[in-house]
Amino acid sequence: MHVSGFSLQCFAGIPREDLRPGILNRILLTGYGYDRGFLQFPGRFIFTLTCTITHWRYPMPDTPDDPLLGKPAPLFCLPDADEQNVCLADMAGKWVVVYFYPRDNTPGCTLEARSFSESADEFTALGAVIIGVSGDSVDSHKKFSDKQNLRFTILSDTDHGVLEAYGVWKEKKLFGAIGLGTERSTFLVGPDGTIASVWRKVRVIGHADEVKNRVRELSGKE
């Protein structure tokens, strides 16, 4: 296992609407093993912040003992950013990457979405479809998708029924307060409709490549 440190530009020109005024806004230092950092932003800031984080150079494995692994994927029909219903059953015969994320326009979720979007053509070549799901509204998804020019579909699960079915709607603790939220997770659904791989508590950096490599391995395509 190789351990090293690296620097990256975390944020540049963060608008106020992407922050929560009057409270501590979390700076997401995303890497293998570490996810930390807090600063307070009371107003609008335009700045560039460079931060150093430590990471381990090894892939995040899927979860071989997950209770959903090998079972039929919970079916769903949810609205996309254009208010059109998208149903998992309609994708039978394809590999489907269903990834759940906490919130539109947050740093980690933006990075994850961009990573999948940049790999969209490669997933398509492997016969795979990418679907993102969160508890955000259709309107929020529309703004997020347009802002990031996403090349895949994101679905709105405002009543959290699908999040619960996949076991990703969980109790969380933030700043001492306990509430419910989405645990960042990814499920690879096979052409037969069963769940072929599961990643829970996902680390964002490199995750899209991990999923892509898993699809390549299981599909036998290059």
195-204 residue pLDDT tens? 999 999 999 9
Q: Is residue 146, in this structure, part of any structural domain at all?
A: yes
Residues 28 and 96 in one domain: no
What CA–CA distance (Å, rounded) separates 168 from 170? 6
Task: Read off the tokens for 120.
Answer: 């969209």
Residue 115 has pLDDT above 90, yes or no: yes
Instruction: Fill in the DSSP letter of residue 150.
Output: -
What CA–CA distance (Å, rounded) separates 121 from 137? 27
Work out the average pLDDT over 105-134: 97
Q: Is residue 71, in this structure, part of any structural domain at all?
A: no
What are the two backbone dihedrals, phi and then psi, of residue 165, each rounded to the nearest 5 degrees? -60, -35
CATH number of domain containing 148: 3.40.30.10
Q: Is residue 70, in this structure, part of any structural domain at all?
A: no
Residues 36 and 88 in one domain: no
Q: Is residue 72, in this structure, part of any structural domain at all?
A: no
77 in active site = no
What are the two backbone dihedrals, phi and then psi, of residue 126, each rounded to the nearest 5 degrees? -90, 0
| Predicted pLDDT at 61 | 59
Work out the average pLDDT over 210-216: 96
Whose structure tokens read 């003992």? 65
Residues 46 and 88 in one domain: no
| Predicted pLDDT at 2 | 31
| Predicted pLDDT at 51 | 39
Q: What percent of the chain is modeled with pLDDT above 70?
A: 71
Contact 68, 100 (CB under 8 A): no
Query: Mapping DSSP to helix (H, G, I), strand (E, B) and coil, where does residue 86 land?
Result: strand
Work out the average pLDDT over 113-135: 97
Residues 19 and 92 in one domain: no
Residue 188 confidence class, pLDDT cut points 50, 70, 90: very high
Q: Is residue 136, in this structure, part of any structural domain at all?
A: yes
Number of domains in the chain: 2
Q: Is residue 65, in this structure, part of any structural domain at all?
A: no
Residue 49 confidence class, pLDDT cut points 50, 70, 90: very low
Residues 112 and 200 in one domain: yes
Indicate which residue of 10, 51, 77, 109 is catalytic: 109
Query: Mapping DSSP to helix (H, G, I), strand (E, B) and coil, where does residue 159 land?
Result: coil
Structural domain of 46: 3-56
What are the two backbone dihedrals, phi and then psi, of residue 158, each rounded to the nearest 5 degrees? -70, -25
Q: Is residue 152, in this structure, part of any structural domain at all?
A: yes
Q: What is the CA radius of gyration of the chain?
A: 18
Residues 52 and 85 in one domain: no
What CA–CA distance (Å, rounded) separates 119 from 216? 13
What CA–CA distance (Å, rounded) separates 185 from 132? 10
What CA–CA distance (Å, rounded) separates 220 from 222? 7
What does DSSP say about strands 153-156 and 48-56: parallel, antiparallel, or unpaired?
A: unpaired
Q: Is residue 46, in this structure, part of any structural domain at all?
A: yes
Residues 89 and 48 in one domain: no
